[in-house]
């Protein structure tokens, strides 16, 4: 296109000037514009040269792009991925010389190795066990809750031996909805009602059930934004968001930095700033993604802040996605406020179609392996699409039945929550206390399963590099896996996320002892 | 000095060569810049109306997706303007934007007769006693013929089977190793062959649908395409196009060839796609085929492997109905072919459905079996978006490790399938409806072109509509399977009981009688 258009327009712009000013038009061309056709050829030829040069560069860059991305991931070097040209495949028609090409996404995915996932893998390869592997790595990087696993186990055993035919498969095979059976939705709406403070009613027709909260986020991203659009996310955020939102939906995350000076609370000015900067760069912002209670830090959004966020979303005409998977895992004095509560109390003024809630049972009921997630939305279009997309991540029938029975056991749920909350409070208190004794302070938190610990005093260059070095020390010297702040996109280096719900009370001294080792090494070397 | 001939009149004087090229270049560059800017301005001022009806396939930007991310302004324009918001801050004119892909998914599934029929049958399901006038579901390729066996097993073994070794907090998201091992033992039994399956090449997903989805994401970029012989499964459109945004290039098979795949057709489709500028990344074969139920013989499979090698594309072999192959012909798995062909395995990926084989469709367990280490790495990581739940895995491990039960199950299931197929096809024949001969699958592929009021897609859909709304049976019209000949329908008979068959036939008879009396 440009090639054909360019010479024409070029000659148009230059020829009138040549006729009007005789010969001496521009000084630097003096030596050039001589002879007939000189001006035309003099411009045409370099232009063409320049164009081909550009074309050449572009080609080169493209093939260069592919090379580095394909080479590192392959541990087996059997995968020299070349961009195929037709001629080559013709040359070697039996051509297995070049491996067959994978999608760009597949290569990105195999390359994607943040410290968060590296740590998880290393810890799972050499897991600590009191008796069998006392020198193994203690896993404190997962958001798992094993504090009350015994209660769940007891319930399952009782249920299993009770002869309850809960798993029975009904004879008629109807077209099973992908988005979850109604019984489970009903049980979940009751459960969520209880978890989110007992004042909100959850409508089952607004629910879509997915195989875990992870696909719930992914499906929402597919529904709310197109490839190349973006969501605003307050940092530090859950490291998994990068994969859930960016990989397959192709939606970008724009960080809205929160700082330790505000105890990592979100500020509206920062949000506004991030939004307008994104707009200036030409990025289409489609929503805000917040977790409440926040994932690494553990603080909660106040009612005022929620109102502000809703206002902001309305103002900019964007969506608000609130990830409330930790709603029931609170231990502090602050009360958790669900965004659903605000919608219910103020339904007349708020356009609820832009608000979507993500929930799941993996955190609050410690059923990580069960893969039960919920999209709760008021937007009919989003719900309709999400139901369609659920075909890719539906919950299998036995699990649905099992979870339905469990959630319907009201007494069990009540007991579980009470016990779990007490245990969490106790472990959190003990652990934070012990950390402060060795000089490590944590941000104030009241929910979630983490301590957000400030170790900036221990890092040598005060930067991400120092932080990762310290993380490496935790892995190799202390043998504990924790999540560095950089994996959560925290703007200040030196913060670490430590999950305290995978250790029991009597394991705290051991963990503290291991951390102390690193603290001493750092102090000694400085 | 005389460098290049066309510059002869130009390269004179000192610095002439240099300036003669630099200045026009700079001019040209600024000119381009100016154009680019202008184009931007042109795009942004007229804001589209608030409820944006994005074109169906807008998300594949004109550019490759990777660079699309870098130049987001090429993506869709904002549906709102600042001024309007300032005018009425509390009530922005339109609802918040829903993505273009979401809108297209919602629309496609609302219109397609396949989904319309499924929905209708789900809303008003037939039941012998409770709802005798309901819609009978013949549109779902699910097998529930032997569900009772699994049910009984669970009943006998108690629900404790689900607990297994108890609940462990951190589990791999691509399936338990024990289950993979069990599957590796189970699949050869189902196929009645001694093939070796390596558990390390497996990724377990929540249903075969997710396995296809994951593979599409791994093998092709936005806007690339796969060759798919038609008629193909009506759900492929959803599996491949919706999310991964990959085009399907149809390779038409005809009734004159008995709907067998020919390499010539494959080659033609490939070349045509290439001429259109499409990038073909792979071929998806279904064996036994869905909706026809044909098996691919060894020769054809070898030809396909050669074809893929020649074009350097992937092969996705969808063997989700492997266990239903029960005709006189032999079912040949791609795994067997590759056992013989050492070379070049890394372009082959196979999909199985454990829930199909075990007659428990709502368990939704799919298996992705690939020979490509890089695909496996990516697929394992993507498995987090469609992971199997732990209780289901435990239950399956317990069921599959009961070898006596498994053996008995496979035998009985095969017998029941065979019997149901024979009964159903024979009964249809009595009504004057012929089916193509098939040797696998949960369905038969029936030629109802005699019942069409007009020979064409319109007539086919009209017949489908009568079958659904008058006769109250939901079948899948050939057009939903992208069959190029009108008048073919897919009947899934594996969700029926034997009593239901006569009801179905009675209902079809009514329609056929009505059509005949008209003509």
Tens place of pLDDT per residue across chain A (526 aa)? 444 444 444 444 444 444 444 444 443 444 444 555 666 666 677 677 777 877 777 666 655 544 443 333 333 334 444 443 333 333 334 444 467 888 988 888 888 788 888 888 888 888 888 889 999 999 898 888 888 888 888 888 787 765 555 555 443 344 467 888 888 999 999 999 998 878 899 999 999 999 999 999 999 999 999 999 999 999 999 999 999 999 999 999 999 999 999 999 999 999 999 999 999 999 999 999 999 999 999 999 999 999 999 999 999 999 999 999 999 999 988 889 999 999 988 877 888 999 999 999 988 888 878 899 999 999 999 999 999 899 899 998 888 988 998 999 999 999 999 999 999 999 999 999 999 999 999 999 999 999 999 999 999 889 999 999 999 999 999 999 999 999 999 999 999 999 999 888 889 999 999 999 999 988 887 6
Residue with tokens 């978006």: B385
Which residues are registered as beta bridge partners of A358? A323, A375
- Residues in chain B within 8 Å Cβ distance of A110: 374, 377-378, 381
Question: CA–CA separation, A410 vs B386, rounded Å?
Answer: 29
Does residue B174 have a pLDDT over 80?
A: yes
Which value does ipTM take for this structure? 0.79
Query: Taking Cα atoms as reference points, which of A155, A364, A368, A494 lies closest to residue B159?
Result: A155
Mean of the pLDDT values across residues B1-30?
61
* Strand pairing class (A230-235; A252-257): parallel
State whether A353 and B96 contact (CB < 8 Å).
yes
Q: Are B68 and B100 in contact (CB under 8 A)?
A: no
State the Cα–Cα distance between residues B517 and B454, nearest whole angstrom: 15
Q: What is the pLDDT of residue A26?
A: 45
Q: Kindly indicate the confidence band of residue B288, based on its pLDDT and cuts at 50, 70 and 90.
A: very high
Reported as a pLDDT band with limits 50, 70 and 90, residue B49 is very low
Q: What DSSP assignment string belongs to A220-247? A: HHHHH--TT-EEEEEES--TTHIIIIII
Question: Is pLDDT larger for residue B156 or for residue B16?
Answer: B156
- Using pLDDT thresholds of 50, 70 and 90, give the confidence band for residue B188: very high
Nearest to A371 among B73, B105, B387 (CB): B387
- What pLDDT does residue B200 have? 95
CA distance B185 to chain A (A): 22
Cα separation, B405 vs B400, in Å, equals 8
Give CA separation, A33 vs A40, A473, A491, B21, B448, in Å: 9, 69, 58, 12, 79
d(CA A118, CA A112): 10
Q: What pLDDT sits at residue A179?
A: 86
Say if A159 is an interface residue toward chain B (CB within 8 Å). yes
Q: Residue B102 and residue A383: Cα distance in Å, rounded? A: 10
The DSSP element (H or E) to which A257 belongs, if any, is: strand A252-257
| CA dihedral of residues B450, B453, B459, B460 (deg, nearest 10) | -30
pLDDT at res. A1:
41
- A36 by Cβ neighbours in 10 Å (0-12 / 13-18 / 19+) ranks as exposed
Contact B259, B513 (CB under 8 A): no
Chain A window 330-349: which residues touch B at a Cβ cutoff of 8 Å? 349
Residue A509 sits at the chain B interface (C-beta within 8 Å): no
For residue B69, give the nearest of A13, A157, A228 by CB distance: A228
Cβ within 8 Å of B, A 92-111: 93-96, 98-107, 109-110
- Report the pLDDT averaged over residues B392-413: 92
CA distance A144 to A501: 7
Asked whether B346 and B315 are in contact (CB, 8 A), the reply is: no
Chain B residues with CB under 8 Å of A211 CB are: 206, 385-389
Whole-angstrom Cα distance, residue B375 to residue A99?
12
Are B253 and B261 contacting, i.e. CB atoms less than 8 angstroms apart? yes
Contact: B69, A250; criterion CB under 8 Å: yes
Check if A48 contacts B (Cβ < 8 Å): no
User: Dihedral, CA atoms, B462, B468, B471, B477, nearest 10 degrees?
Assistant: 60
What is the b/e burial string over A226-235, where b = at least 16 CB atoms within 10 angstroms of the residue's CB?
Answer: bbbbbbbbbb
Q: Residues with Cβ < 8 Å from B456, sequence gap 6 or more?
A: B486
Domain boundaries, chain A: 18-66, 115-148+414-525, 150-161+169-412
Tell me what the pLDDT averaged over chain B comes to.
83
Contact A34 B9 (CB under 8 A): yes
Enter the tokens of residue B316: 């996705």
Q: Distance between CA B462 and CA B478 in Å, rounded?
A: 12
Query: Do the Cβ atoms of A116 and A483 come closer than 8 Å?
Result: yes
CA distance A485 to A456: 11
Q: How far apart are the first and last CA of chain A?
A: 63
Record: contact B98-A366, CB cut-off 8 A: no
CA atoms of A468 and A440, how far apart (whole Å): 17
Chain A: give the shortest CA distance to residue B329, in Å: 30
Look at strands A373-377 and A207-210 and give their pairing.
antiparallel
Establish whether domains A115-148+414-525 and A150-161+169-412 are of one fold.
no
CB of A317 within 8 Å of any CB in chain B? yes
Query: Both tokens of residue B193?
Result: 């062959």
By DSSP bridging, strand B225-230 and strand B488-492 are unpaired
Q: Tell whether A354 lies on the interface with B, counting CB pairs under 8 A.
A: yes
**C-alpha to C-alpha distances, A425 to A196, A329, A381, A443, B49, nearest whole angstrom:** 18, 10, 41, 15, 52
For residue A161, which residues of chain B lie inside 8 Å, CB to CB?
158, 160
Tell me if B59 and A226 make a contact (CB, 8 A cut-off): yes
Contact B374 A399 (CB under 8 A): no
Decide: helix, strand or coil at residue A180.
coil
Q: How many CB atoms lie within 10 A of CB A254?
A: 18
A44-67 pLDDT, tens digit per residue, is: 776 777 778 777 776 666 555 444
Side-chain-facing half-sphere of A40: CA atoms under 13 Å:
11
- On the question of pLDDT at B80 being above 60, the answer is no
Burial grade of B321 (CB within 10 A; 0-12, 13-18, 19 or more): buried
CATH number (3.40.640.10, 2.40.110.10, 3.40.50.1980, 3.20.20.140) of A150-161+169-412 reads 3.40.640.10
Helices (H), A163-302: 182-195, 213-224, 241, 268-280
For B212, name the nearest residue in chain A, comparing CA atoms only. Answer: A392
When computed from its CA atoms, the radius of gyration of chain B, rounded to whole angstroms, is 28
Nearest to B209 among A32, A149, A392 (CB): A392
Q: Which of the pair, B62 or B288, is modelled with greater confidence?
A: B288
Name the nearest CA neighbour of A313 among A231, A417, A410: A231
Q: And the tokens for B55?
A: 């074109």
* Residue B436 pLDDT class (50, 70, 90 cuts): very high
Report the distance separating Cα B183 and Cα B319, nearest Å: 14
Which token pair is A383? 């719900």
Residue in A372, A362, A363, A328 with CA at minimum distance from that of residue A181: A372
Map tokens 């062909």 to a residue.
B341
Task: Return the pLDDT at A34.
Answer: 56
Of A486-495, B240-249, B284-293, B418-427, the poorest mean pLDDT is in: B240-249
* Overall fold of domain A115-148+414-525: 3.90.1150
CA distances, B286 to each of A316, B168, B319, B358, B482 (Å): 48, 37, 6, 19, 15
Phi then psi dihedrals of residue A480, to 5 deg: -130, 145
Give the count of alpha carbons within 13 A of B163, CB side only.
Answer: 15
- Name which of A254, A251, A250 is nearest A232 in CA terms: A254
**Span B115-121, average pLDDT:** 89
Asked whether the beta carbons of residue B210 and residue A392 sit closer than 8 angstroms, the reply is yes
Question: What pLDDT is recorded for position B179?
Answer: 94
- The answer to whether A30 contacts B13, with C-beta atoms less than 8 Å apart, is yes
A284 touches chain B (CB under 8 A): yes
Taking CB atoms and an 8 Å cut-off, how many pairs form between chains A and B?
417
Contacts of A389 in chain B (CB under 8 A): 105, 242-243
Other Cβ atoms within 10 Å of B511 Cβ, number: 18
Q: Residue B484: what pLDDT?
A: 93
**Cα-only R_g, chain A:** 29
Residue with tokens 């149901």: B420
- What SS3 class is residue B225? strand
Structural contact between residues B347 and A100, judged by C-beta atoms closer than 8 angstroms:
yes
Chain A environment of B58 (Cβ under 8 Å): 226
Which residues are within 8 A (CB) of B218 and not within 5 positions of it... i.e. 6 or more apart? A102, A103, A105, A106, B375, B378, B379, B382
Chain A stretch 400-459, residues whose beta carbon is closer than 8 A to a beta carbon of chain B: 402
Q: Which residues pair with B314 in a beta bridge?
A: B282
- Tell me how long chain B is: 519
Q: How far apart are CA B473 and CA B476, in angstroms?
A: 10
């Amino acid at each position: 296109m440009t090639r054909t258009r360019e010479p024409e327009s070029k000659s148009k712009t230059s020829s009138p000037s040549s006729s009007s000013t005789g010969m001496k038009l521009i000084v630097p061309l003096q030596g050039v514009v001589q002879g007939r056709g000189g001006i035309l050829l003099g411009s045409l030829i370099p232009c063409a040269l320049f164009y081909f040069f550009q074309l050449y560069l572009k080609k080169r860059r493209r093939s260069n792009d592919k090379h580095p991305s394909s080479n590192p991931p392959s541990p087996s070097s059997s995968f020299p991925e070349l961009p195929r040209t037709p001629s080559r495949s013709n040359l070697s028609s039996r051509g297995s010389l070049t491996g067959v090409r994978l999608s760009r996404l597949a290569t990105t995915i195999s390359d994607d190795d943040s410290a968060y996932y590296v740590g998880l893998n290393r810890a799972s390869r050499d897991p600590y066990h009191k008796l069998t592997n006392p020198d193994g790595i203690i896993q404190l990087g997962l958001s798992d809750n094993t504090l009350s696993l015994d209660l769940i186990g007891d319930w399952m055993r009782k249920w299993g031996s009770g002869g309850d035919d809960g798993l029975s498969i009904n004879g008629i095979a109807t077209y099973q909805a992908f988005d979850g059976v109604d019984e489970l939705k009903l049980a979940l709406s009751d459960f969520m009602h209880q978890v989110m403070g007992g004042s909100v009613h959850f409508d089952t027709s607004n629910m879509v059930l997915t195989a875990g909260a992870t696909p719930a986020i992914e499906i929402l991203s597919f529904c709310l934004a197109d490839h190349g659009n973006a969501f605003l996310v307050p940092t530090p955020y859950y490291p998994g968001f990068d994969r859930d939102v960016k990989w397959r939906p192709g939606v970008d995350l724009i960080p809205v930095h929160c700082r330790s000076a505000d105890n990592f609370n979100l500020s509206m000015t920062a949000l506004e700033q991030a939004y307008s900067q994104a707009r200036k760069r030409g990025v289409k912002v489609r929503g805000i993604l917040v977790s409440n209670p926040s994932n690494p830090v553990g603080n909660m959004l106040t009612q005022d802040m929620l109102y502000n966020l809703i206002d902001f979303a309305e103002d900019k005409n964007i969506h608000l996605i609130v990830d409330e998977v930790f709603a029931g895992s609170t231990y502090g004095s602050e009360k958790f406020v669900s965004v659903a509560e605000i919608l219910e109390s103020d339904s007349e003024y708020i356009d609820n179609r832009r608000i979507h809630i993500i929930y799941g049972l993996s955190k609050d009921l410690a059923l990580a392996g069960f893969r039960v997630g919920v999209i709760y939305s008021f937007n009919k279009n989003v719900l309709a699409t999400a139901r369609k997309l659920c075909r890719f991540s539906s919950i299998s029938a036995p699990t649905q039945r099992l979870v339905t029975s469990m959630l319907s056991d009201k007494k069990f749920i009540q007991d579980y929550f009470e016990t779990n909350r007490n245990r969490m409070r106790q472990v959190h208190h003990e652990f934070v206390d012990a950390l402060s004794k060795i000089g490590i302070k944590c941000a104030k938190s009241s929910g979630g399963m983490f301590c957000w610990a400030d170790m900036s005093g221990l890092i040598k260059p005060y930067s991400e590099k120092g932080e990762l070095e310290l993380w490496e020390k935790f892995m190799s010297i202390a043998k504990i896996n924790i999540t560095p702040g950089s994996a959560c996109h925290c703007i200040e280096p030196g913060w670490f996320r430590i999950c305290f719900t995978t250790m029991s009370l009597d394991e705290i001294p051991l963990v503290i002892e291991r951390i102390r080792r690193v603290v001493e090494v750092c102090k000694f070397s400085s | 000095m005389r460098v290049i001939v066309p510059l002869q009149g130009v390269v004179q004087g000192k610095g002439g060569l240099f300036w003669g090229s630099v200045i026009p270049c700079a001019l040209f560059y600024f000119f381009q810049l100016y154009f680019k800017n202008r184009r931007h301005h042109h795009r942004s001022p007229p804001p589209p109306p608030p409820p944006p009806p994005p074109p169906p396939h807008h998300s594949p930007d004109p550019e490759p997706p990777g660079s699309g991310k870098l130049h987001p302004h090429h993506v869709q324009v904002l549906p709102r303007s600042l001024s309007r918001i300032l005018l009425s801050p509390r009530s922005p004119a339109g609802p918040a934007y829903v993505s273009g892909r979401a809108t297209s998914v919602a629309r496609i599934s609302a219109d397609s007769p396949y989904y319309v029929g499924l929905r209708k049958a789900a809303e008003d399901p037939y039941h012998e006693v409770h709802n005798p006038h309901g819609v009978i579901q013949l549109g779902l390729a699910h097998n529930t013929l032997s569900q009772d066996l699994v049910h009984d097993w669970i009943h006998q073994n108690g629900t404790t089977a689900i607990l297994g070794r108890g609940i462990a907090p951190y589990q791999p998201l691509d399936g338990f190793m024990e289950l993979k091992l069990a599957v590796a033992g189970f699949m050869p039994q189902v196929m009645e062959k001694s093939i070796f399956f390596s558990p390390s090449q497996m990724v377990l997903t929540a249903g075969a649908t997710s396995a296809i989805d994951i593979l599409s994401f791994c093998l092709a970029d936005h806007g690339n395409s796969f060759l798919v012989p038609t008629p193909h499964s009506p759900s492929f459109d959803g599996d491949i196009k919706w999310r991964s945004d990959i085009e399907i290039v149809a390779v038409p098979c005809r009734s004159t060839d008995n709907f067998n795949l020919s390499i010539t057709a494959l080659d033609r489709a490939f070349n045509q796609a290439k001429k259109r500028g499409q990038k073909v990344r792979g071929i998806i074969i279904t064996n036994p085929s869905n909706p026809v139920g044909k098996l691919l013989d060894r020769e054809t499979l070898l030809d396909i492997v050669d074809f893929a090698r020649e074009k350097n594309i992937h092969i996705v072999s969808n063997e989700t109905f492997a266990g239903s192959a029960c005709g006189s012909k032999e079912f040949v798995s791609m795994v067997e072919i590759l056992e013989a062909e050492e070379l070049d395995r890394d372009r082959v990926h196979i999909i199985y459905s454990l829930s199909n084989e075990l007659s428990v469709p709502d368990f939704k367990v799919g298996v992705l079996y690939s020979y490509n280490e890089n695909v496996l790495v990516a697929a394992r990581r993507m498995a987090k978006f469609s992971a199997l739940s732990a209780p289901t895995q435990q239950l399956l491990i317990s069921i599959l490790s009961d070898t006596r039960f498994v053996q008995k199950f496979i035998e009985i299931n095969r017998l029941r399938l065979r019997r149901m197929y024979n009964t159903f096809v024979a009964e249809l024949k009595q009504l004057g409806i012929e089916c193509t001969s098939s040797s696998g699958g949960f369905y038969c592929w029936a030629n109802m072109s005699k019942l069409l009021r007009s020979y064409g897609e319109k007539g086919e859909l009209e017949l489908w509509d009568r079958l659904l709304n008058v006769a109250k049976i939901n079948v899948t019209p050939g057009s939903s399977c992208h069959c190029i000949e009108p008048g073919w329908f897919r009947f899934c008979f594996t969700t029926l009981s034997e009593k239901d068959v006569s009801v179905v036939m009675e209902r079809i008879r009514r329609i056929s009688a009505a059509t005949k009396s008209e003509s």
